[in-house]
Amino acid sequence: MNQLTYVLINPYIIYKSRTGSVISRLLSRSTNMHIVGARMFAPSQELVDDYLDALNYDHKDGDTNRIDGFIYDYVKKRYAPSSDGSKRRVMLLLLEGENAIEELKENVVGAIIRENVGETIRDTFGDYIENENGDVIYFEPAVLIPRTVESAKKHIDVWMKHADNDSGILENVAFPKNADVQKTLVMIKPDTLAQSRTRTGAVIDIFAKTGLKIIAIKIIHMTVAQAMEFYGPVRQFFINKFADKVGDKVNRALSNAFEFDIPAETVEMVKEQLKVKNADNEFGKIVNFITGCDPWNTPESEWSTASKETCIALVYQGENAIEKIRNQLGSTDPNKAAPATVRKEFGQNVMVNTAHASDSPENAEREMGILKIAENDLVEIVTR
């Protein structure tokens, strides 16, 4: 049975930049679940209170209820705003798959009190430490999940209720309001998600080396119209870049076709007529790669339809964020990228090159607007 469930990546895990590793473990330990929605939250006290009510801890005795109590207290202390009013970052992932709730609980996230080490998410990233008297002195569950279909629905409803006010691009959460920081967009491309269920997390881990903070995340199924606008500047670049190559091809082709010298003005005239066509052909390949649709063979009436190709958009924030991310991403051509960069590790060629990153503050804002990063799409996903 196909089920919708959620995973909350805890503030401490995000703070310690373990987010990518958790996502890798989340996807690699289950082949039948997919992330269908994602959003960063900065929980208000009202959201925390509603979530605590939904957790329904009743203070009765018993081992299961004892663990419920630890989780209840953890949320109360670690999800709520701190004493100075500053909020914490929580990443909400919506997952869908056959028997997803049980699969998550048993095989992916694992138990709070564990017997093995290094298998599930909590084996590796969680902690449950008792002293010699059996008192718990440290507790970190790494992620939070529901235990039943009923609790999944109830908990998701709580987070949806507060999504418009408590989530989106968390502008003033990771850094003080007047801090000298930048925002930049990273878009993990379809090849990354298709190649390996661990690669997305590995890419996020490489970007974590920058020390920047994730302040937004969204699952993107780009439309043809979005892709054409997003990569619009590249089209003009192709016109200029390939103009001389087009001229050389025209000259060779005409020279081979006729037994006389082709006048330079004739080559120039044909080049001018073909350079835009050539650029559009290259541009169409990019749009096709990102959306799975050839724009020139897709009716314009379908350009606004969400594609089946999946991208993950992340917004990073910090000092010199654009430069740091692009340095960590590496050259457009993976063969020319520096060692240990994202594209050197995972890229194949100038198109299949793992991820995109904004090249200026202006383009970062433009691209975030095109992808509608700030808009909340979770309710639509939950109710579809």
Residues carrying an active site annotation: 356
- 3-class secondary-structure state, position 33: strand
SS3 (DSSP) at 170: coil
H-run or E-run covering 96 = strand 90-98
Q: What are phi and psi of 227, to 5 degrees?
A: -65, -40
Burial of 60 (0-12, 13-18, 19+ CB in 10 A): exposed
Check residue 302 and report its DSSP letter.
G
Residue 43 CA to residue 41 CA, distance in Å, equals 6
Judged on CB neighbours under 10 Å (0-12, 13-18, 19+), 195 is middle
Q: How far from the centroid of its chain's Cα atoms is residue 260's Cα? A: 57
Residues 186 and 313: beta-carbon distance below 8 Å: yes
Going by C-beta distance under 8 Å and a sequence separation of 6 or more, which residues neighbour residue 6?
92, 93, 94, 95, 145, 146, 152, 155, 156, 159
- Fill in the amino acid letter for 165: N
Using DSSP's 3-state secondary structure scheme, residue 114 falls into: coil
Question: Taking Cα atoms as reference points, which of 197, 191, 235, 213 lies closest to residue 317?
Answer: 213
Alpha-helix runs per DSSP H in 37-162: 45-55, 63-78, 100-103, 121-125, 149-161
The token pair at 107 is: 């095989």
Closest CA to 26 of 93, 92, 109, 101: 109
d(CA 352, CA 94): 27
- The torsion angles phi and psi of 40, rounded to 5 degrees, stand at -90, 135
Task: From 94, 120, 114, select the one nearest 24 (Cα to Cα).
Answer: 120
Which amino acid does the sequence have at 381?
I
